[in-house]
Structure 1
Amino acid sequence: MAAAGVMLMSVIGCSQVSDSTSVFAQSRPPHSESPMPAKSVLPNTKLTTANTKFGFKLFSRILEQEGDKNVFVSPASVAIALDMTYNGASGSTRQAMAKALELEGLTLPEINSSNAALKALLENSDPQVQLNIANSLWANQDVSFKPEFIQRTQEFYQAKVTNLNFKDAGTPGIINNWVNESTRGKINKIVERLEPEQVLFLINAIYFKGKWTNEFDKSQTAQYPFYSTSGKQKQHPMMSQKGKYKYYENEQLQAVSLPYGQNGNISLYIFLPKQNYTLKSLYQNLNAENWEKWMSQFTKREGFIRLPRFKMDYEVTLNNALKALGMGKAFSNNADFSNMGQNFTISEVKHKTFVEVNEEGTEAAATTSVGIVATSMPLDEPFRMIVDRPFLCAIRDNQTGSVLFMGSIVDPLIANGN
């Protein structure tokens, strides 16, 4: 059984605290996990549109930052982590975050209720696909936060709340155990140590498990050449399959949708530049508007697909990318997170992922940590799509349009994307 997981994490710290009484006792029991009711039945399409726009902006900035390397990120994970953090922002910091996250025009209640509804919808996407989303708050027992901030994360994000002694050497292990369990062992460690200024961790974990709707026959997997960006050739195990697929083609690219589970609500999309184009030229046209246009033009076609098996780890710090998107205020000493507490600023946003694609399906995991401290027209004949050169891939929920993962695979033989 193939699996994919997402884990994202916000690390919140403060060196100045007004009092030493935890506010958690004023809201819900520290270890309570009972869900609170969502405020909407269906997610606001404005939120999924905003997440898509933000995701492609972020992906483009990461590509600029990383150059000609493998990249694999979870835009959905980063968006949820920052949406939770956004609940604590105020004033010009909130305005800057709203602009960067494409949340302008959405009220905070709309954002939170839509995230709650999106969680419920994604978790019930397909009877043969597991998709579980979990959130948690781990707080320094000596620090207080605004009750309204805690209550919103509990009500709309169903966050498990736990007070811990951050001076205890065993505290990171407690948090890491929850992460390990929530991602079924795909992410086993996210907290190395606790710095003195860190007082709160917000952690979100998404776990996905499912097989292809039509698995690849392992006996058809064979060694074929894969051509790198420089044109260098390497032999690589390639999976092959014939069938009827949702397919799209224009003068620049070929694209195919490979569904998971019983009803195909979630798919892996592969975008392959044509021979006279490069991955870089494809990315110059990669934005939310073109993405939606491409999505609307997929049609059922008979065809043949040859796809490399690949497996990689990836890690990136998102500070520069988020600052470039207009969130610099949130990283400055003038940041306003007064809806969370006093004198907070984001210190670092880190992102880690893992992905493996094989004959059975896809396995992926991602972690995002946010540290806060004090201050075309289809052809008639069957297509052939030989993915033997750098390509774009994305895992998308087709019901909501949510892009769960995105990747730029320039060399499937490189185990580490860094």
Structure 2
Amino acid sequence: MDLRLTLLLICLCSQGAISVEDTNKESVPLVPLIPLMPSNPIENVDNQNIPQLENEYTTEAPILATTAAISTNRGPLEDEQNEECWSTGRSPQSREVLAAAIQKLGVQLLQNLETTPEQPNIIISPFSILLALSQLALGAVNETRELLMHHLNENTLPCYHESLNNIFMQLRNNDLQIATRIFLRQGFQLKQNFVDNSRRFYDSDPAVLESLQQINDWVNNATNGKITDFLTSLPPNFLVMLINAVHFKGEWKSRFDPRFTSRGVFYLDDKHMVDVEVMENAKHPLSLFIDNELEAQVARFPFMKFMSLLVVMPMSGRVNISSLSEKLNFSDLYNRLPKERAVQVKVPKFKLEYSQELQEVFIKLGLGEIFSKPNLAEMADGPMLVSSVMHKSYMEINEEGAEAAAATTVVISRASNPVFQLTRPFVFALMDDMTQVPIFMGVINNPNPGAPVLQRGEHGSKDKVGFPMDKNHAGSFGGPPK
């Protein structure tokens, strides 16, 4: 009797130990590029060629066991809890929380990023950026982890990385190309648990970095040639780069006929405009409405495979993200869209690129600690800090559809028919229809930055789009601002 009781107690204690161990485990999301830098600089790294050293990591071949193989080392209780977390991650509630978190991050970035004469537009992939920070969170502990998880989802998701993995897989199934990679300085070792979780949650394998060209070629291939020369040099004393790239190419459900594309104007503000190429369709199926609270027109341009371009164009003046931010909810706008109807549509063609170091804006948002004194003990031993968060993006809209690409690196170094004319600054979100995750977001203030800016009225009483420039027309969909 005493022996049986003793064995039972041993069994219960063993299960309790497994439970505690499991509670402290973290899951990893998909990630962008992250280099690691120690606080005490190590020897200089040549920016073009890094000496080859013997290392367990290879450039291309995977080095990890499969998820199934990894799971064989877990006990029954851990497997049960793990399956429960994966189930939670697949729930609609988790998807909604993450979609809202990605949108919130995107709006915060749009609100804090500044335009310049050289870069009058902002185009970002909040999904790509969130992936980068999420993978960084896999390697963080204590206050650093709490800080990151607060900004990523306000600590509302108990199974965060499983939930992000679920969205990651859904987006990939919708013909959105997502690539992830971990580049390592030769001889540097990551902790195996971080490597395992990076593969498990974000399909991200490590590779030894041999040259700068290796990174740029990887990004170029992952974005179908749309983002070239991603980095101009390797960060000094880098240890690890977590990188991801997103590429989308979609065909409109209703294409624009190139024969009706002509020169037109885009109104920068009440006094200035710029020449652009304008696509036109007299009877384009479009879902649109006026949101009185935003004082803006909202329109949805659907693609063939469960993606949409959602446009929010203020009725007058320029886009003011600060005033829109508290009221701008893309999911709410998406759910309020009415049925499509035939609309006279005019949309500018454009091909734009955007590049931004995000360190300053993240410091504004309260993430300054990751650039000064982060605790990344789950990633590797030794002092490290995030030295850079680089983001580059590309977007093109033409008669056939739209193409967009982005890459992120976190461097850790030691009435007729109604009329809708998109002829003024606007906010956009390229949405996945199934998850309502905003893959790309941005503000288009000038779709043709290289063209000379003209004073209103220089074209005479009739502008190039073809409608009279008078006060009666100014109140119609997309006409000149009041």
TM-score of the pair, normalised by structure 1: 0.83
Matches within 5 A, 1:4-403: 8-14=32-38, 30-32=61-63, 36=67, 39-40=86-87, 42=90, 44-45=94-95, 46-63=97-114, 69-107=120-158, 110-125=159-174, 130-165=175-210, 171-229=211-269, 231-241=271-281, 242-251=283-292, 252-262=295-305, 265-275=306-316, 277-280=317-320, 283-287=322-326, 290-302=329-341, 303-332=343-372, 334-341=373-380, 342-374=382-414, 382-403=417-438
Letter in 2 for 1:122: L
Letter in 2 for 1:294: L
- Deviation by residue 1:224-267 (Cα, 9 ceiling, x = unmatched): 222112521333211112233222212311111111114xx211
Letter in 1 for 2:164: N
TM-score of the pair, normalised by structure 2: 0.73
Which structure has more relative contact order (CA 8 Å, sep 6+)? It is: 1
- Cα separation, 2, equivalents of 1:293 and 1:89: 33
5+ residue gaps in structure 1? 1-6, 166-170, 375-379
Greater fraction of residues in strand: 1
- Does the CA contact (< 8 Å) of 1:88 and 1:337 recur in 2? yes
Which piece of structure 1 moves more, 319-328 or 287-296?
A: 287-296
1:83 Cα offset (Å) = 0.6
1:223 Cα offset (Å) = 1.6
5+ residue gaps in structure 2? 1-30, 43-52, 69-82, 452-482
Specify the alignment match of 1:168 in structure 2: none
- Deviation by residue 1:314-345 (Cα, 9 ceiling, x = unmatched): 1122112111211111111x221111122111
- Cα separation, 1, equivalents of 2:107 and 2:256: 30
Identity, % of aligned pairs?
26
Query: How many residues of Structure 1 are paired with residues of Structure 2 in the alignment?
Result: 386
CA pair 315-404 structure 1, distance change in 2 beyond 3 A: same
- Does the CA contact (< 8 Å) of 2:36 and 2:240 recur in 1? yes
Looking at CA atoms only, which structure, 1 or 2, has the larger radius of gyration?
2
RMSD over aligned CA atoms reads 3.0
- Does the CA contact (< 8 Å) of 1:15 and 1:198 recur in 2? no
- Does the CA contact (< 8 Å) of 1:140 and 1:200 recur in 2? yes
- Does the CA contact (< 8 Å) of 2:347 and 2:421 recur in 1? yes
- Deviation by residue 1:164-203 (Cα, 9 ceiling, x = unmatched): 45xxxxx222232222222221123323333441111111
- Deviation by residue 1:355-412 (Cα, 9 ceiling, x = unmatched): 11111111222122211122xxxxx984311111111121011211111111211111
1:65 Cα offset (Å) = 8.9
CA pair 272-140 structure 1, distance change in 2 beyond 3 A: same
- Cα separation, 2, equivalents of 1:308 and 1:293: 26
Residue in structure 1 matching 2:439, options 372, 383, 404: 404
Specify the alignment match of 2:21 in structure 1: none
- Does the CA contact (< 8 Å) of 1:244 and 1:300 recur in 2? no
- Cα separation, 1, equivalents of 2:236 and 2:351: 37
